[in-house]
Amino acid sequence: MSQTIRKLSVVDSAFLFAETAECPMHVGSLTIVTLPDGYDGDFYEDFKARIASRLYLAPSLRWKLAQTPFDIDRPSWIEDDQFDLNRHVLRGALPEPHDAATAERLAGWLHAKTLNRARPLWELYVFDGMPDNQAAIYSKMHHALIDGGAGAALTEILYETSPNTEAVAAPQPAPAPAEAKRRDERDVASSMFAAYADLWRTPYEPGKLGKLELPRSGGTDLGSVLLDAAIHQIEWPLRVSANLGEIATAYSAALSNAFKPESVKALDLLSAPATPLNAAISSERSFTGVTVSMARVKAIAAKAGGKVNDVVLALSSGMLRRYLGDAGALPKKSLTAFVPISAREKGDAELKNQVFGMVVPLATDVADPKTRLEAIVAGSAASKELAIPFRSLIPHFADIPTFGTPMLLQLLAVFYGRSGLANTMPPPMNVVVSNIFFSRAPIYIAGARIEHVYPMSIPVHGQALNITVNGYVDGLDFGLMAAANVVPDVEPLAAMLCEELDALEAAYGTAA
């Protein structure tokens, strides 16, 4: 039996339980690379060999799910003892004309397919033979395994900073000690008595109660799952009680911010109007990528007294205003965006989701681009002030007991999708806009230079469009992912986004 590595966190497992056929919960990217001059090899084989040589640096790529009986609790990650790289790194074939637009359409089709839960939850597809000595790599990985911050860290592990980096041979793993091999077979009663003894020792050890981790059986059979759930029900409240001061301080700061006059006004702006984008979705996807100059965006941000992310929101706002206006469906009230915020500490590359977020009014009711951006800068600052106090709460509630809830959550997810409630209920927000720092330096893979990394994220019922941005070298790579039954073609939106950048430059006088 494979050894249990760790239990999924509440957020990680939520991405599993919320997944349906219409709403696959994986994230990915379409990466465009340029092959070295004079290259005459097989890029797919070279790419796969490079991944194979670095897999030991990313052990999570060998993890698969071990679900609990009847889905009564969160699953665990275990080592896949039948791991085969050929099941995860695949060769794709682009139809004519073999260009990036064709790769985008094919990647959108592949993004609609759920991952096989019997294997590690990731896949890579290589499409070579493109014009201008280029190739494309489509990747997808389940959001239960990774978030944007961990994804960037994983990229740094698997990819290279030089085209001449030598492949690194994986070291031979040390034989696992017999005790580790027997971990899943430990006597359940022994785990219970060990946890009981540790529980009585903990109160007498200063500072330990807040980080209490009682022994577990680590098994995936029904008896072990029931025992571990019972231990967790005891452990979690004790950990929370030890951190009540920090939790109370965070809630106090949040309430204090919420009752400020400017915050009360901001809260009124955060209710989202209904739009055609806020509807039940199908499993089909439409996708396109577009790149804008980082220098142009920074120049606008400096003039507006905001940040790059504020301009990203303004570009998204102007694009949505144009799109809905052309369709005769622009609401009088401003649209809102959910903006993820990382709760990850600097240098933390642990492969689990550590994220919360804020809702920002997009000022789509404002016609003038300059006035609209200024409103977004102010609204973003107010929303962040409301949200930031909750950041310190994330670690305390990331492991809340969930025994008995996974199956219920799956049933609710299916019911919500099949009922069509997203077509009638007011949306909590209109669109997701996520901005991720990727790399300021060029990155290579198997000697090929990465030109663009267009992110591909998750539309859901009620939010049929997702806008995710990767900051790479001197550009911002926008990935526009939509449910095809709501937005059949997203390429016009990409053109509108570029037009909005021109409009902002004209408004602020930053055009070169």
Sheet harboring 76-79: ordered strands across? 4-7, 76-79, 63-66
Cα gap 266→383, rounded to integer Å: 7
**Which ranges constitute the DSSP H helices of 96-142?**
100-111
Q: How many CB atoms lie within 10 A of CB 130?
A: 20
Q: Give the H/E segment covering residue 293.
A: strand 285-293
Is residue 111 part of the annotated active site? The answer reads: no
Beta carbons within 8 Å of 278's beta carbon, 6+ residues apart: 272, 422, 427, 430, 462, 463, 464
Beta carbons within 8 Å of 464's beta carbon, 6+ residues apart: 277, 278, 279, 281, 482, 483, 485, 486, 487
Q: How many CB atoms lie within 10 A of CB 302?
A: 14
Render 19-71 in DSSP notation, one character per residue: --SSS--EEEEEEEEEPPTT--S-HHHHHHHHHHHHGGG-GGGGEEEEPPGGG
CA atoms within 13 A on the CB side of 143: 23
**Which ranges constitute the DSSP H helices of 259-293?**
261-269
Cα gap 413→116, rounded to integer Å: 19
Cα gap 406→479, rounded to integer Å: 31
Given 143, 232, 452, 461, the catalytic residue: 143
Q: Give the H/E segment covering residue 383.
A: helix 369-387
Among residues 374, 369, 375, 296, the alpha carbon closest in space to that of 334 is found at: 375
Cα gap 353→111, rounded to integer Å: 20
Residues serving a catalytic function are 143
